[in-house]
Structure 1
Amino acid sequence: MTHPPSAGGQQLRPSQTAQGGAWLSNFRPDDAPAAQQLIDSLHFFSSTTFRQGLTKHLHSVLTHTVPAERPAALYSVHSSDTSGTMFTGCLEPLVPSAGGSELIVQNIVRATEREFDNTVVSKQTTSLELLKDRRVRRLVFLSDYAGSGDEAINYARTWLRNPTIRSWRSLKLVQLHLVLFAASTTALKRLEAGSWYDGVHVLHYGMDFPSVDWEQSERDHIRTVCNTYAPSMNAARGWGDSEGLVVFEHTIPNNLPMIVRQTKGRSPYGKWVPFFSHRTAPQELMKSLADYRPDFDRQRRLRAIRQPRLAAASHLQTMERPELARIIDVLAHVAGRRRNPAQLAAALGISIPAAMEITLLAQHLGLLDEQTRLTDAGWQELRKAKARPRRVASGLQGSTEPYYPRQLKGSR
């Protein structure tokens, strides 16, 4: 993925933009470094990257994860009455008008319905009767992001309050699936722990305070800054204290810390200078930071899981064997008891499908078993990767002395 270059040829950081520099003027000198670390840890997704990524992920789920022997009904997740029931009163699965992320997601739904022909339906399943007539067996809900998980959970509940849907599900006649472009640590934990969905399929995971590679002292300082400079403690670290770090071109999620998106705050220097404006971002800022990602410090990640020798050798491995570096990283994190694809994805700074692909490759090579545990060959490869490269000195030494053979050729 390419990043916008700065004048020095490096990717431009949020703190290096005019908007970022002005925003940092809100903070006291001892808090400014933590504030800078916060905005430089944001992940920016352009509308193009978001649309292409979610479309590809959805198609993969529909093709490989959700069997297609019966049509799948596809809907976009949207905010609804927390006590409402689907197909009751005015509550319907299709929203007549929408904006922002909901509009983009609905466009993806319509395009997918056309591409998959009869195996994916949406407009033709706006009632229980139509769902029954089409013999739909999977309800697939699509959304851009789960920060706290509230919206996705509430949406599933509106369906499950319907006695017919609840009955079909208890008889295993229908399943509920959720497809997300991204989910925070908090949201995915809630979604997987509950019984609302039969499957949760996430492309990008983490990108929040718990998953970023800050030192604990840095994380504590950043949290203190978020609490100190926000107008109130309510959502100071994002909705539901979800501590998100994701920014979309089409919307600013409400699980970002308040100090990043507020227009009024508690600055000791007077009027607050905003970075974002509530749920929108200046167009010029988004253009400068399109698809910006924080630097991935592989050595720091390895040291954090107590792999200092591997961290010391990691630069040479990446340069000499880049195709094996990710496999070695997976082995190291599995050795540290991180076997879940989402955990591996966050640790490696890649998508969940990419982490699953590398894991499958390691299993194919015999380095991991089917339970994602290191095999003897995997442990051996990990030990080999930790070894420092041997320095082989030449056996020939230069000399100005004349050479006199000690033995004639052919004599014994």
Structure 2
Amino acid sequence: MVSNDQFRREMKTLLKRACGEQSAPPVAAYAVHNLPKNFAPHYFDCTGPHAPITSLRCPSTVHTGSELIVQNILLKSATALNVLVDATVEQMHASRVHRVLLVTDNIASGQEISTFLAFMQANPRLRSWKSFGWLRFEIVTHSITESALASLRRKAVVHFEQLSRTFETTDWSDQQLEEVRALCRKYGSIKRETLGRKNAESLQVFGHTFGNGTPAIMRQTTGRQGTTWSPLLPHGRDYALESTEMAALQGYRAPHSLLAALRRLGRTNPIRVLRSARVDAQARNRSLAGKYGPGILALLSAIDAGHRRPVDLMKAGAMSLTRLHSVARASYDLKLIEGYADFASAFHSDSHSGDPRSASPLDEVKLSLTDRGREVLRRRARVRTPKPRPAVPAAEEPGHLSIRAVDATSPPPSPAKPPAPYYPQQLR
């Protein structure tokens, strides 16, 4: 669940990072909106008539629903970031625009953004500029699924804040995953979207909307037989959730596999472990352990498990890119990791060549543990002997004193094991 305030705050930061230096030429930005898959013979900024002759009017840009929120953020940030919002081709030529940003809130299947990108590149002048290397298209999205990220990076540069939550990012077992999928298929009434559009299996919800990548049973209002269905997300996609509904959704967090791994290792109190690693930290970072303790331990555990690239660490630690950068900086100040300098440079840089076939600067970053970081993990992974509980005397009848003979040669009774802690795995 991403609240309205969080979405606006993080989108402004993401746009600032994607636009780069203000002294650079202006950047053209467009809020992505839904288009028919077969939009030909039309294209971006077309005026007609087209060949073959058609009676259809050229489409005009009409923003609805979540597109209005993105459009509003772009307009409010336009002056500070030197951005041309919804510029025509002539305006782009007059301002010598070299970069075009296609901005959206969430990408689940990638179908909508792929169609919009093709619609923009179908313009003859833009296609010509792109072929000469004078113009490049980039995608800016708050959240994106891992599968869509891998697919879209072959078409354009992708700037994003976090990986979208899906079925695969939960702590469900294989059996539970199949049970959930069977439930969605059994009761989903929207054809081809029982698991979300293109089987995206998305669990990402925003305060202002939710994508069609979410399973149908979460948003449909009619069951398979025409019966009334009360969905978990009670409003249509074009309407924001009420504050009470948002609070109810934000109160639940699907357990993550990394958290389960930490619990199995007994790492339930990372703050105490990290206090000793704070000795050499700078004075301004004296509260790092208390503020970033759980995140630091999650980061160290993920690196130790073999996840070294930022995208892999975001998935393993269930962190946004901004959160991962803050935690990595705190870990670096505590001398727990190496490679932060390259991460910080890639995080703040927009020096991508623009060729989708080339690697993103973040893909070339690899973080590693220092000896101090490995020592922190080793100390937390030690098996701790449970403390024996005090013996409880047997109940005696009132007025009687029981005297028992104790054999000194017999081994002491083994202490009773404490009950395993309870971790809820599903909504009640």
Residue 390 of structure 1: CA displacement?
9.6
Residue 375 of structure 1: CA displacement?
4.2
Aligned mates of 2:241, 2:35 — CA distance in 1: 33
Residue 308 of structure 1: CA displacement?
6.3
Match of 2:217 among 230, 252, 259: 259
Aligned mates of 1:93, 1:139 — CA distance in 2: 21
Q: 371-380 or 51-60, which moves further after superposition? A: 371-380
Aligned mates of 2:46, 2:108 — CA distance in 1: 28
Residue 215 of structure 1: CA displacement?
2.0
Question: Normalising to structure 1: TM-score of the pair?
Answer: 0.70
Aligned mates of 1:206, 1:324 — CA distance in 2: 24
Give me the identity figure in percent: 24
Partner of 1:332: 301
Q: Report the secondary structure of 1:182's partner residue.
A: strand
Aligned mates of 1:317, 1:221 — CA distance in 2: 37
> In the alignment, residue 383 of structure 1 is paired with which amino acid?
R
Does structure 2 conserve the Cα–Cα contact (< 8 Å) formed by 1:227 and 1:233?
no
Residue 350 of structure 1: CA displacement?
2.4
Aligned mates of 2:94, 2:88 — CA distance in 1: 11
Residue 97 of structure 1: CA displacement?
3.5
Alignment of 1:108 onto 2:66: no
Partner of 1:315: 269
Q: What pairs with 1:36-185 in structure 2 (closer than 5 Å)?
A: 43=1, 45-63=2-20, 68-82=23-37, 83=39, 84-89=42-47, 96-116=61-81, 119-123=82-86, 125-127=87-89, 129-185=90-146
Aligned mates of 1:167, 1:361 — CA distance in 2: 46
Q: 250-259 or 54-63, which moves further after superposition? A: 54-63
> In the alignment, residue 64 of structure 2 is paired with which amino acid?
G
Which sections of structure 2, spanning at least 5 residues, go unmatched? Answer: 51-56, 276-288, 343-365, 388-428
Residue 377 of structure 1: CA displacement?
4.3
Alignment of 1:214 onto 2:175: no
Aligned mates of 2:45, 2:239 — CA distance in 1: 39
> In the alignment, residue 320 of structure 2 is paired with which amino acid?
S
Q: 1:330 to 1:380 in 2, by over 3 A?
A: same
Partner of 2:229: 272
Aligned mates of 1:357, 1:238 — CA distance in 2: 33
Q: What pairs with 1:199-210 in structure 2 (closer than 5 Å)?
A: 199-210=157-168
> In the alignment, residue 203 of structure 1 is paired with which amino acid?
E
Deviation digits for residues 337-385 of structure 1, max 9, x if unmatched? 2233233223323212211333355456362335223344443333233
Aligned mates of 1:85, 1:327 — CA distance in 2: 48
Q: 1:275 to 1:377 in 2, by over 3 A?
A: closer
Deviation digits for residues 253-303 of structure 1, max 9, x if unmatched? 2111111111111489x64333335725997855332471533657x5254
Partner of 2:338: 368
How many residue pairs get aligned? The number is: 335
Aligned mates of 1:358, 1:350 — CA distance in 2: 9
Q: Report the secondary structure of 1:70's partner residue.
A: coil
> In the alignment, residue 196 of structure 2 is paired with which amino acid?
G
Aligned mates of 2:217, 2:62 — CA distance in 1: 31
Aligned mates of 1:105, 1:167 — CA distance in 2: 28
Q: 1:292 to 1:58 in 2, by over 3 A?
A: same
Q: Report the secondary structure of 1:289's partner residue.
A: helix
Q: 1:218 to 1:315 in 2, by over 3 A?
A: farther
Aligned mates of 1:335, 1:71 — CA distance in 2: 43
Q: 1:77 to 1:272 in 2, by over 3 A?
A: closer
- What is the alpha-carbon root mean square deviation over aligned residues? 3.5
Aligned mates of 2:72, 2:129 — CA distance in 1: 29
Q: 221-230 or 79-88, which moves further after superposition? A: 79-88
Residue 146 of structure 1: CA displacement?
0.7
Bigger relative contact order, structure 1 or 2, given CA contacts below 8 A and separation 6+? 1
Partner of 2:351: none
